[in-house]
Amino acid sequence: MVDIRPFKGISYNPKKVNLSSVVSPPYDVISPAGQEFYYDQDEHNIIRVILGKEHVDDSQLNNKYSRAKNYLSKWIQGETLQQDDHEGIYVYRQTFSVRDKVCSLTGMVALVRLEELGKG
């Protein structure tokens, strides 16, 4: 049986940021020019977490992933990101165009227990 549970989500605080300036498309459809565009939109744009810049002096301890962690921690501490007071299962709808056809996708985000392959 599937074990699905609610959780306390984290989202942008609209009192701290303009939501339209901190969102971006999924990382795998963003060009290098698009990456620059979203970096320039706002210092809190999610691009810094999902598609951080690589630096020539990156190391195993200091790289785009460690910087993403630091951005998230800083944004939570500064209340740019806020955790919901109550647990929930989050339903979302995305609307987009493909070859002049409008499509929509509905999904949910929840905690799900993973079982070892072959069990359960």
Quick one: how far is CA 26 from the chain centroid? 9
CA distances from 6 to 38, 58, 66, 93, 101 (A): 31, 37, 28, 18, 34
Does residue 42 sit in helix, strand or coil? coil
What band does 119 get if pLDDT is binned at 50, 70 and 90? confident
Read off the pLDDT of residues 69-104 as tens digits, 9 standing for 90 and up: 999 999 999 999 999 999 999 999 999 899 999 999
> Is it the case that residue 1 has pLDDT exceeding 90?
no
Read off the pLDDT of residues 36-66 as tens digits, 9 standing for 90 and up: 999 999 999 999 999 999 999 999 999 999 9
pLDDT at res. 40: 98
pLDDT higher at 11 or 119: 11
63-77-45-84 Cα dihedral, nearest 10 degrees: 120
Please name the residues in contact with 44: beta carbons below 8 A apart, sequence gap of 6 or more. 12, 16, 17, 22, 75, 80
pLDDT at res. 108: 97
pTM here is 0.83
- Detail the DSSP E strand segments found in 1-120: 4-5, 10-12, 81-83, 90-98, 101-109, 111-112
> Is it the case that residue 120 has pLDDT exceeding 70?
no
3: its two tokens: 């074990």
